[in-house]
Amino acid sequence: MKAYKNILNGVLVESPESFKSINPATLEELGSVPYSTPDQIDATVEAAKRAQKSWAALPDQERVAYILNIAELFGEHGEFLAELLTREQGKPLGGTGPQDVPGSRFEIAGCEAWTRIPANLSLPSEVVYEDDSRRDELYRLPLGVVAAITPWNWPLMIAVWQIIPALRMGNTVVIKPSEYTSIGTLEMVRLMADILPVGVINSVTGKGDVGSRLVDHPDVNKIMFTGSTETGLKIAARAAARLVPVTLELGGNDAAVVLEDAEPSKIAADLFWGAFLNGGQTCACAKRIYVHESIHDELINQFKTLLKAMPVGDGMKPGIAFGPLQNKVQLDKVVHLLDDAKSEGATVYEGYEPSEKNGYFMPLTIVTGIKDGCRLVDEEQFGPVLPIISYSNLDDVIKAANKLAVGLGASVWSSNIQRAQAVAIQLEAGTVWINKHGAVHPLVPFGGLKKSGMGVEFGVEGLKAVCQTRVITTFK
Ligand code: NAD
């Protein structure tokens, strides 16, 4: 079994203890991951701190060139990373284009796009005020060392979302991947470290205690965190104690509202992928669908046809559209929510029977005859079990969509764009898509409201989030 290593100041390091990474489709051991010791975590932050000043001092175009070289690595090593990702995360290899099943190759293509596009953005200083007597110029300067803490669902792409803007703006990074999906991230970071100056990118691995030590480290100047609301709240409290800025991308329970003028045959495929992308293990998936009673049955029929066309199995095998859930804890949680809905009398329709027996599989499932108040509707399932709620009164649906403590994404589906926009503006979510769900873009700010997060990533706004502002006021 291969022993994977961390990058500390350009050197691959092991730790006295390690843990195993498991293939969720086969339950085979993929390799061992070092469990970073407190001393190693401190040394890693120190290395990032040492490297930061010279990285920030590079001419902007040199940093851009480095980042564009990172973008190239996703082409050169894309297939290697995609296979590792499928083995470790579980999503199928799939393809990259809109006609293909979105899987690991799609994630790697996302890594490349979210590297190349920020590389070409910049935040030059701006004159914010000027008159005869004074000139006020605002600079966006790096913060220093950025800690990046990632989840297991899109492990490489989310890491890129955190790492690349931070590097672009002259920060150095220490990344702590999820303990469930460390290997793919370690390999990606190793490839990045081969390109970058020593100490600019570093990694530590382990469970929450490793992330927690990073959060508390006095030389960490910014925390980028993507994961559960529960952990995000803890991190926000710790960071507040040191007055360190955080960007938090947390859980959601996105509502999709299908108006009666939507055409089920036209929207079904987009709505399906908006709900089931990565087997529902996506932060901004549609996690509860409200559909007008007049088109409910027709939409359900469309969904049943789609479910029947999606083979579930080991994502390394050709023709597989959906892999397993990533880990046992998540599988148990989703099964539990489904059992709860069944006990309340909901109707359950299951798609393809998984072709493998060993892994953390369950069929794609839709649940009807279900209402708000049922746990499967009110809680984030983060898996392939989708509640579809029939409604008659739109105002009630808007209230239901907004009643939860989270507000990451939402969507409205209609053939009347103006009407959809009028509904969209009433939905309490960081992004509301019309006739799509979860369609993030590298130039469009993305973040959650309420307990779904704090701050935004992507685009120029995302760059601002990894900078400090400094104003220089000159009197003439
Ligand atoms: P998690 O909160 O359990 O873990 C995320 C990361 O935080 C892991 O690396 C973990 O080791 C680390 N961690 C745990 N405790 C910590 C602590 N006290 N201090 C510092 N780090 C700690 O989340 P998860 O189960 O890996 O991810 C699933 C959740 O992430 C879902 O709720 C999902 O909606 C959310 N998510 C949100 C987005 C978004 O952009 N908003 C994207 C993906 C996933």
Least confident of 98-112, 194-208, 257-271: 98-112
Cα–Cα distances in Å, from 114 out to 75, 197, 454?
Answer: 13, 21, 20
Nearest-CA residue for atom 14 of ligand 1: 208
* 456, 460, 463, 468: CA torsion to nearest 10: -100
18 confidence band (pLDDT: 50, 70, 90) = very high
Q: Sheet holding 222-226: strands in order across? A: 201-203, 172-176, 145-149, 222-226, 246-249, 453-454
Tell me if residue 467 is catalytic. Answer: no
Cα–Cα distances in Å, from 424 out to 240, 260, 402, 444?
Answer: 33, 15, 11, 17
**Residues 213-223: pLDDT tens digits?**
999 999 999 99
**Residues 265-317: pLDDT tens digits?**
999 999 999 999 999 999 999 999 999 999 999 999 999 999 999 999 999 99
Does the beta carbon of 447 sit less than 6 angstroms from any atom of ligand 1? no
pLDDT above 90 as % of the chain: 97
Nearest-CA residue for atom 39 of ligand 1: 249
pLDDT at 97: 61
The CA 150 to ligand 1 mean position distance, Å, reads 6
**Residues 422-434: pLDDT tens digits?**
999 999 999 999 9
Least confident of 149-153, 350-354, 375-379, 404-408: 350-354
Tell me if residue 283 is catalytic. Answer: yes
H-type alpha helices, 344-393? 375-378
Q: Is the pLDDT of residue 98 over 70?
A: no
Q: Is the pLDDT of residue 95 over 90?
A: no
* Per-residue burial over 46-65, b = 16 or more CB atoms within 10 Å of its CB, e = otherwise: bbbbebbeebbeeeeeebbe
pTM of the model: 0.97
**Residues 434-446: pLDDT tens digits?**
999 999 999 999 9
99 confidence band (pLDDT: 50, 70, 90) = low
pLDDT at 357: 86
Does the beta carbon of 217 sit less than 6 angstroms from any atom of ligand 1? no
Evaluate the CA torsion angle 307, 308, 313, 315 in order and state its sign: negative
Report which of 349, 407, 348, 396 is spatially closest to residue 373, judged by C-alpha positions: 396
Report which of 348, 327, 350, 328 is spatially closest to residue 339, judged by C-alpha positions: 348
pLDDT above 70 as % of the chain: 99
Q: What is the mean pLDDT of residues 91-108?
A: 85
pLDDT at 96: 66
Q: How far is Cα 164 from Cα 113, in angstroms, rounded to an integer?
A: 11
Q: Is the pLDDT of residue 418 over 90?
A: yes
The CA 154 to ligand 1 mean position distance, Å, reads 11
The residue with tokens 């061992």 is 32
Tokens of 274: 């908006």
pLDDT at 80: 98
